Structure 1
Amino acid sequence: MYKVKIVETQQEYDEAFAIRKKVFVEEQGVPLHLECDAEDATATHFIMYEDNQPVGAARLRSIEETVAKIERVCILQDQRGKKLGALMMQEMEKHAISIHKQLLKLHAQSYAVPFYEKLGYIVTSPEFMDAGIPHRAMEKKI
């Protein structure tokens, strides 16, 4: 059974960062100083568990009164292909609605654009590089 929750304890925070480090730093080669940034201090962090094992993480930042940005969405490699990314996004969207957000923005790695489009996001920028990886800006009204 998979469960997504807002990070509330130091252990959950550490587990979320361990997943981010494994996916972004170790797998994708993003420098640690770019992956862990000053925005982490004010973001709402999410973690996904299968039973008691952490398998995914993400964060949500409020960037305007009615706008939030979804960032650092990641699922461990051996858990991919199970629609867990969609589950993570659904739970983050529910939270965003509960805090009165009306628009969600994100910067998708270009290969993941079709995934986000299936969830109702639309591309709003040409391709750009971030941490050496091609991205596209996307958004969704909620």
Structure 2
Amino acid sequence: MYNVKIVESKKEHDDAFAVRKQVFVEEQGVPLHLECDAEDATATHFIMYDDYEPVGAARLRGIENDTAKIERVCILQSQRGKKLGALIMKEMEKHAISVKKKKLKLHAQSYAIPFYEKLGYTVTSPEFMDAGIPHRAMEKTI
């Protein structure tokens, strides 16, 4: 059974970062110093488990009074295609609402734009490169 929760312990933190490292650093070739940045210290981190096995992660951080930014959304390759990305996004959106955010922003890898559009996000920028990967800015009012 899949469960998404806010990271509260060192083990959950380590699990979230292990998933991020596997997806972004090992699979996509993002340098570790770009994947793990200063924003990690203040962000709210989310971890997804399949029973007790970590399979997904993401972070959310406030960027303006009523706006938060979703970042580092990732699902292990072996778990993709099961709608787990939508599950972690839904939980982050619920949390953002609970802390009085009205708008969410994110930078989507270009290939993932249809995924975010299905969740109600709209493209707000031309394509740009981040860590050598094409992205576009997106946002959603919640």
Q: If the TM-score is normalised by the length of the shorter chain, which range does it land in?
A: over 0.9
Q: Distance in 2 between matches of 1:50 and 1:25?
A: 22
Residue 97 of structure 1 and its aligned partner are, at CA, apart by 0.1
Moved over 3 A (4+): none
Per the alignment, residue 84 of structure 1 pairs with 84
Q: Distance in 1 between matches of 2:55 and 2:25?
A: 16
Which residue type is aligned with residue 11 of structure 1? Answer: K
Per the alignment, residue 104 of structure 1 pairs with 104
Which residue type is aligned with residue 90 of structure 1? Answer: K
Q: Distance in 1 between matches of 2:11 and 2:49?
A: 13
Q: Distance in 1 between matches of 2:50 and 2:95?
A: 20
Give the 3-state SS of the residue equivalent to 1:47 in structure 2. strand
Q: Distance in 2 between matches of 1:121 and 1:39?
A: 23
Q: Distance in 1 between matches of 2:19 and 2:52?
A: 14
**Equivalenced residues, count:** 142
Which residue type is aligned with residue 10 of structure 2? Answer: Q
Q: Distance in 2 between matches of 1:100 and 1:65?
A: 9
Per the alignment, residue 8 of structure 1 pairs with 8
Per the alignment, residue 48 of structure 2 pairs with 48
Give the 3-state SS of the residue equivalent to 2:139 in structure 1. strand
Q: Alpha carbon RMSD of aligned pairs, Å?
A: 0.2
Identity %: 82
TM score, norm. by length of structure 2 = 1.00
Which residue type is aligned with residue 63 of structure 1? Answer: I
Establish whether residue 121 from structure 1 lines up as the match of residue 84 from structure 2: no
Q: Which runs of 5+ in 1 are unaligned?
A: none
Residue 116 of structure 1 and its aligned partner are, at CA, apart by 0.1
Per the alignment, residue 93 of structure 1 pairs with 93
Q: Which runs of 5+ in 2 are unaligned?
A: none
Residue 19 of structure 1 and its aligned partner are, at CA, apart by 0.3
Q: Distance in 2 between matches of 1:73 and 1:126?
A: 21
Residue 130 of structure 1 and its aligned partner are, at CA, apart by 0.1
Residue 41 of structure 1 and its aligned partner are, at CA, apart by 0.1
Per the alignment, residue 17 of structure 2 pairs with 17
